[in-house]
Amino acid sequence: MIVVHHLENSRSQRILWMLEELGLPYTVKRYERNKETMLAPPELRQVHPLGKSPVIEDDGQVVAETGAIVEYLVEKADGRLGPPAHREAALRYRFWLHYAEGSLMPPLLVKLILTRIPLLGRKIAGRIQPMIDRHLDYVESELARRPWFAGDEMTAADIMMSFPLEAARSRGGLDDSRPATIAWLNKVHARPAYQAALAKGGPYAYA
């Protein structure tokens, strides 16, 4: 059975959701952040040298990094939630799968760090918002064209995009001025598999 090393309020919530969508059996080992630093506890380094979450264990294999875990699970599930058959949709799938962490998440993380620095940090953080807005406008334009990121069906690309857009709604300026993106988030949160993942993972600040 798959073991998910799950850190509260983190990217690992996506892995729980994906496992629920795929119907794969798993157990959760939950970790709490340090209340002062908000960092992962040192116990995670016993699972993987980087001490980050998510990490999964499956039949003796340890897999880290969200995107790598997602691709591992698609393969394990015989391609379910993987790239669509149509080439154009498959290209969109690959783009969004990597865009989530490669392009959208970095400026959100920079803004979060800067806002925790008194005075000067918050001033600089204001300069990051136009960059975030450019990304959010792009996401909005794409979701206005189709119900899911790759096309007509939900895929792992949507799972990857969930955390940065939840973070953007919490601290990155995503609001009702981008209705297609908000509708997508609401649709995601209403899915039974998503709700089941919340029940198993414990409190999650972004749902």
Provide the residue type at 133 as one letter: D
Say what the pLDDT of residue 120 is. 64
Instruction: Pinpoint the alpha helices (H) of the chain.
Output: 13-22, 66-76, 87-99, 105-115, 120-143, 156-171, 179-190, 192-201
Say what the pLDDT of residue 121 is. 64
Q: Residue 5 CA to chain centroid, in angstroms?
A: 15
* Domains of the chain with CATH codes: 2-81+193-201 (3.40.30.10), 87-191 (1.20.1050.10)
CA within 13 Å, CB half, 108: 22
Could you state, in chain order, the average pLDDT of each consecutive group of 10 residues for the chain (207 residues)? 94 97 97 84 92 94 97 98 96 98 95 75 78 97 98 98 97 96 98 97 89
From the number of C-beta atoms within 10 Å of its C-beta (0-12, 13-18, 19+), residue 67 rates as: middle
Give the chain's radius of gyration (CA, Å).
17
